[in-house]
Amino acid sequence: MSKTQIAYYKSPIGTLEITGGSKGIYSIIFVDETSENPSQVIATEIQNCIQQLDEYFKGTRKEFELKLAPKGTKFQGKVWKELLKVPYGKTKSYSQQSIALGDVKAIRAVATANGKNPISIIIPCHRIIGSDGSLTGYAGGIWRKKWLLEHEGVLKKQTSLF
């Protein structure tokens, strides 16, 4: 059994706590406070994750190539796999995601599963929006969802004159 390791990455939109081990990346979540890393030696997969996140935030990476091992139910796993099909710079609505999963009536269940996505940014739940184009539901906060979509060129960055 592999030991779970934790590392922290300071992104432009807050600190990310990355957990992983020999099976891959288990979670990437936004945190307000960090604790000390339990190990001085960081797993290769976590090192790769940090490097790829850095490239993403610098604008040089649009696809991630990481071994992912999120923990969830079978249904959540299906939803998260579907999220991985939404490419950089594109969005889908919750209803489009439900249809892709084979059940147009499962919108609420799909939205709930998106909200439980343990691997922020890499599994791009920020690319799922309301049918009317509204930015709804993001565990990291709507302002982060907006920032990520602006970063990917989906939304135009809005500047205020006042």
Which residues are catalytic, by number? 125
Calculate the dihedral angle through the C-alpha atoms of 82, 142, 112, 103, rounding to the nearest 10 degrees: -50
Task: Specify the DSSP class assigned to residue 134.
Answer: -
Residue 156 dihedral angles phi and psi, to the nearest 5°:
-80, 140
Encode 36-86 in three state secondary structure: CCCCCCCCHHHHHHHHHHHHHHHCCCCCCCCCECCCCCHHHHHHHHHHCCC
Q: Are 114 and 130 within 8 A, CB to CB?
A: no
